[in-house]
């Protein structure tokens, strides 16, 4: 069988004194390289070094061409199963009217629902660069209107003649629907506060969700600041 040492060392190309042998129909263990080669030759197979950095290196007794086929197939399957992210672009002008805005907003909602990212930008032609604050307000409004379907990866930034915002779809994985309460279920009785207890102690503790910053509030604050700056 023709040796192919482009990726793996096989048979006499393996220079280690001892190797750990694995494979089908073999007694797995550490052998001298001579014994490992003899075991492979007795089965009419190859000794393939599959883990050269191990101590001792790990070798598999297998048909080398079959081994290469399995490796290529595994890599091909991994590439096929890899998540491909599509980026859809939506272009605005600094003076986009409401009809055009709503039309493009609907398209962006469809893109996010199908799992694509949305790259929205305002293109400034000629002297329209003077309206960059207006473009920023437009993009912030756009991101705010999409907050239920997408999250902003970067705030609006001016790159040459374009102001860009990137919006990624919100993953629905890991979300579990709330189980409905059984009919007739009653809320557990709450203990009455002690007469000696101070009123401050009766206040409910702030939940962790309430303590976390709300991205939509941050977006709304940025939009309000941009509007105030524009005025």
Lowest mean pLDDT segment, chosen from 25-29, 41-45, 48-52, 220-224: 220-224
Which pLDDT score, from 0 to 100, does residue 231 have? 54
- d(C-alpha 136, C-alpha 154), whole Å: 13
Which pLDDT score, from 0 to 100, does residue 119 have? 92
Residue 7 in this model has a pLDDT that exceeds 60: yes
* CATH numbers and ranges of domains, the chain: 11-81 (3.10.20.80), 87-173+214-230 (3.30.110.10)
Q: Please compute the mean of the pLDDT values over residues 137-152 and round it to a whole number.
A: 90
- d(C-alpha 8, C-alpha 125), whole Å: 57
Mean pLDDT for the chain overall: 76
pTM of the model: 0.44
Which pLDDT score, from 0 to 100, does residue 100 have? 92
At residue 104 the predicted structure's pLDDT band, cuts being 50, 70 and 90, is very high
At residue 54 the predicted structure's pLDDT band, cuts being 50, 70 and 90, is confident
Q: Please compute the mean of the pLDDT values over residues 96-107 and round it to a whole number.
A: 92
| DSSP structure string for the chain | ----TTT--BGGG---SEEEEEETTS--EEEEHHHHHHHHHHTT-EEEEEETTSSSPEEEEE-HHHHHHHHHHHHHHHHHHSPPPPEEEEEE-TT--HHHHHHHHHHHHHHHHTT-EEEEEEEPPGGGGGGHHHHHHHHHHHHHHTTTTEEEEEEEEEETTEEEEEEEEPP-TT--PPPPPPTT--PPPPPPPPTTS-GGGGSPPPPHHHHSPPHHHHHHHHHHHHHHHH-
Instruction: Map tokens 């993953």 to a residue.
Output: 171
Q: Please compute the mean of the pLDDT values over residues 57-78 and round it to a whole number.
A: 87
Which pLDDT score, from 0 to 100, does residue 185 have? 44
Residue pLDDT, tens place only, 165-218: 999 998 765 443 344 444 444 444 555 554 454 544 444 445 444 444 454 555
Q: Please compute the mean of the pLDDT values over residues 104-130 and round it to a whole number.
A: 87
């Amino acid at each position: 069988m023709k040796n192919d040492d482009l990726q793996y060392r096989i048979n006499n190309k393996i220079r280690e004194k001892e190797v750990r042998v694995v494979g089908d129909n073999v007694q797995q263990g550490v052998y001298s390289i001579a014994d490992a080669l003899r075991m492979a030759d007795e089965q009419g197979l190859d000794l393939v070094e599959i883990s050269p950095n191990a101590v001792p290196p790990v070798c598999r007794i297998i048909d080398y061409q079959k081994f290469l086929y399995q490796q290529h197939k595994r890599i091909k399957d991994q590439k096929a199963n890899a998540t491909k992210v599509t980026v859809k672009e939506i272009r605005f002008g600094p003076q986009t009217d409401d009809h055009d805005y709503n039309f493009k907003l609907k398209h962006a909602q469809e893109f996010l629902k199908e799992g694509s990212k949305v790259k929205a930008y305002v293109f400034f032609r000629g002297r329209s660069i003077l309206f960059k604050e207006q473009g920023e307000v437009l993009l912030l409004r756009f991101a705010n209107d999409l907050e239920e379907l997408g999250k902003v990866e970067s705030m609006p930034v001016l790159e040459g003649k374009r102001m860009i915002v990137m919006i990624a779809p919100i993953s629905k994985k890991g979300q579990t629907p709330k189980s409905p309460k059984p009919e007739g279920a009653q809320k557990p009785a709450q203990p009455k506060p002690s007469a000696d207890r101070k009123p401050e102690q009766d206040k409910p503790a702030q939940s962790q969700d309430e303590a976390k910053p709300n991205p939509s509030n941050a977006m709304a604050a940025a939009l309000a600041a941009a509007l105030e700056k524009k005025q």
